[in-house]
Amino acid sequence: MKNKTVTAFLSILIAGFLVACNNANTPNNENSNPTTSANHNEEDHDHEHDEVALGTHDIDGIKVEASQGHGHVEPGKEGHLVIKLPYNDNGETTVRTWIGTEDRTLSSVGKGEYAPSHDDYDIHAVAPDPLPGGAKWWVEIEKPDGTKAVGSLPFH
């Protein structure tokens, strides 16, 4: 009986340790940056949930469709932008965004994750606090050949 109790105790202890180790890499506070989480995937986003269409915008000659999630942009809060490019390269393009000014001062830059089921890029970025006057969403599109296009669009 004593061996069964010790075995059960050790099993519970090991299971708890494994769960704790697995959760150590998962952000669990509001200061965590979800753009760096290895656990982020397209199932985390319901593209129909709380997104506001921002329309079509010209980013250095590239017509992109944009939508914004997570409500209004607020200082110090995370914003969510969805960018759809006018071409499909299966995620080979790198899309980065930030909220603020073109020079990125005090801005958090988010790198887009390609969602093949929607053929778009999900990007999260934290707005600077305080939010500078004239702040916008800034978008940088880096094509596979290395060429870059940068432009802005208003936020909701």
| pLDDT score at 115 | 96
pLDDT at 3 over 80: no
35: which 2 tokens? 């753009």
62: which 2 tokens? 């590239």
69 contacts 82 by C-beta, under 8 angstroms: yes
pLDDT at 136 over 90: yes
| pLDDT score at 156 | 85
| pLDDT score at 36 | 35
Nearest Cα neighbor of 76 from 37, 109, 31 is 31
pLDDT at 107 over 60: yes
Rounded CA gap, 68 and 63, in Å? 17
| pLDDT score at 1 | 54
CA dist 99 to 83, 84, 87, Å?
Answer: 14, 18, 24
Confidence of residue 85 (pLDDT cuts 50, 70, 90): very high
Tens digit of each residue's pLDDT (9 = 90 or more) over 21-71: 443 333 333 333 333 333 344 444 444 558 999 999 999 999 999 999 989
% of residues, the chain, pLDDT over 70: 69
What is the pLDDT of the chain when averaged over all its residues? 79
Which helix (H) or strand (E) segment holds residue 11: the answer is helix 2-23
**pTM > 0.75:** no
Q: Which domains are present in the chain?
A: 49-153 (2.60.40)
68: which 2 tokens? 């914004």
pLDDT at 13 over 80: no
Give the number of C-alpha atoms closer than 13 A to the C-alpha of residue 141, restricted to the C-beta side: 25
Nearest Cα neighbor of 137 from 127, 147, 145 is 127
